[in-house]
Structure 1
């Protein structure tokens, strides 16, 4: 979602940007006298007051209390973010901290995701959220089948992102090794290149002509396909940095804080919010009223997609609308880029 900055004069933009920057810095409504004394603008106090009045009329700033200064609205922040979105730069030190934290985390996926969320929360001083990849969209790579004694089979299913699922099936009668080998070969040939979601929904149709094979094993596979090809248990959400949220002055009010926490405790809502745009963009910034959930009207979300093979996940931060977008947007982007790069190199 982009704001239309063309309806603002250059003077109005400069005053708006000054208000946004100072409010982000101080968390205090910004008065015209403050801008006159502390900004590099050469406008007179009277000119600044006039411009602020125009910005208020147009809905870009508002006055929370009589006799107080002004603070940006969601629309005001949007104009600022769209102007500044590519101007922020990370320090080399921050880049190195992100890269080292992800690279040195222990080898399993969960540890990498957890550490990625932790370092993002630490550097952003905001609440960090990481959603693991939607593995249903992963491409089937291979299935291995082996016996565990005479009454159980071990299935190892891998997708092209490198992620593996294991499952144990109970069988009623012993299966010969040759039968298992033939079954494995046929399944690998027929499932090759298909998405896991497709396989789960259409498995019966895919192997229908094999349903009468003598061992009865294909019937077992058909009956348990939903379980065999259910990768949803791998779709985890990692939330880090709740204490960062509690430190923000915007959430000193208990009812305000509890409303936001209530939303963030619902995993389905979290997934929806981070993917709200519905656009497969690498970066998404939602500010205040742009967020569909009304309880989040005083929050902003910066999220980016990362990729592991054929599947994508999302990571991002949640904080007050008064967040340092110029710094945090490149921070989230770089964390997503680095996570993708390191995970891809491990495949």
Structure 2
């Protein structure tokens, strides 16, 4: 829907005023606070039109108006522009990444902390999964009887241990042989590319040894592909600062989502790649527990490949401009930091 400039300007200032105050906005308030160049009566008429169009609602008979979710969506799509963060903020973010220990968990925790502090909302960060990366080395270690340990290492320095039971017991010599054969075929391919045809290409193994690899490969691939990414979240208590969340039950709804890692990972891993920043407002969220919230997310990359995502969750009365600017800048910093951390 295309609004005329005057209506668009009035809607913009109403949304910004309501974001800052959480109080319904009246025509007299707008006339006093903002230099709109029109009378309170004209503002009142324009607000009535915006209400008829579904952009404003009147929560109480004698109160002003507040934006609807339709208004927020229009604002995000048609009015909002991602602004460059202040230099001091950019420097603080950049220097913060320089100071953290060179470990992936620390980087993810730091990202969640910075997001929460700069936005004053709840932050969530989805760590990369091992399956996103290329295999460098797999070692098979015999344990007890038929039990073995698979130690998987990627070129990016990530590691994963997988225990499994084979159909027969193997000794150290056979474990080493199988490891060497695996490494010759898996080197430099992603775990997503692992398939049983690899075994058919191997000539130096006996039928029994080939069968052992046929047992190992599916477990290796499926375990890594099904592995849930770690979720780092901070700032849940920030939401108590907002009057719309004085009802603790609403916060409990969010806690339920955050505690379900696969569900939250799915929410963060937005399939819409047309936008760098993805914004979902209130009822646009599929999950019933998130109908009272807005979610702003983005992804981060390693060598041009998306490996994770992060974002913030807050009220629909969210400062969309600031949050989008923060996410956009942190995205670039995180991409640079991960390259230094994992591609050394």
Superposition TM-score, scaled by structure 1 size: 0.85
Q: How far apart are the structure 1 equivalents of 2:170 and 2:179? A: 18
Q: Which range moved further: 123-132 or 145-154?
A: 145-154
Other structure's SS at 2:318 match: coil
Q: Which residue of 2 aligns with 1:296?
A: 290
Q: Which residue of 2 aligns with 1:174?
A: 171
Cα distance change, pair 79–206 in 1 and its aligned pair in 2 (3 A): same
1:213 paired residue among 185, 196, 205: 205
Cα deviations by residue, 1:195-238 (Å, 9 ceiling, x for unpaired) = 31331xx2x33213549924944433322334433224461111
Structure 2: which 5+ runs fail to align? none
Cα distance change, pair 149–293 in 1 and its aligned pair in 2 (3 A): closer
Deviation at 1:302, TM superposition (A): 1.0
2:71 paired residue among 68, 76, 87: 76
| Structure 2 counterparts to residues 289-328 of structure 1, below 5 A | 289-309=283-303, 310-328=305-323
8 Å CA contact 1:284, 1:303 repeated in 2: yes
Q: Which residue of 2 aligns with 1:43?
A: 38
Cα distance change, pair 173–215 in 1 and its aligned pair in 2 (3 A): farther
Other structure's SS at 2:35 match: coil
The answer to whether structure 1 residue 223 and structure 2 residue 212 are counterparts is no
Q: How far apart are the structure 2 equivalents of 1:19 and 1:161? A: 48
Q: How far apart are the structure 1 equivalents of 2:310 and 2:213? A: 35
Cα distance change, pair 196–185 in 1 and its aligned pair in 2 (3 A): same
Deviation at 1:119, TM superposition (A): 1.3
Deviation at 1:290, TM superposition (A): 1.8
The answer to whether structure 1 residue 282 and structure 2 residue 276 are counterparts is yes
Cα distance change, pair 262–153 in 1 and its aligned pair in 2 (3 A): closer
Cα distance change, pair 313–85 in 1 and its aligned pair in 2 (3 A): farther
Cα deviations by residue, 1:268-319 (Å, 9 ceiling, x for unpaired) = 3322322345436421111222222233233111111011344410010000
Other structure's SS at 1:213 match: coil
Deviation at 1:154, TM superposition (A): 6.3
Q: Which residue of 1 aligns with 2:21?
A: 26
Other structure's SS at 1:206 match: helix
Instruction: Name the Cα RMSD after superposition.
Output: 2.9
Q: Which residue of 1 aligns with 2:96?
A: 101
Cα deviations by residue, 1:40-82 (Å, 9 ceiling, x for unpaired) = 1011111101100110111111111111111111111122223
Q: Which range moved further: 103-112 or 168-177?
A: 168-177
Deviation at 1:117, TM superposition (A): 0.6
| Structure 2 counterparts to residues 1-347 of structure 1, below 5 A | 4=1, 7-136=2-131, 138-145=132-139, 155-167=150-162, 172-176=169-173, 180=176, 183-184=178-179, 186-199=181-194, 202=195, 204-208=196-200, 210=202, 213-214=205-206, 216-229=208-221, 230-231=223-224, 232-233=226-227, 235-279=229-273, 281-309=275-303, 310-346=305-341, 347=343
Cα distance change, pair 146–290 in 1 and its aligned pair in 2 (3 A): closer
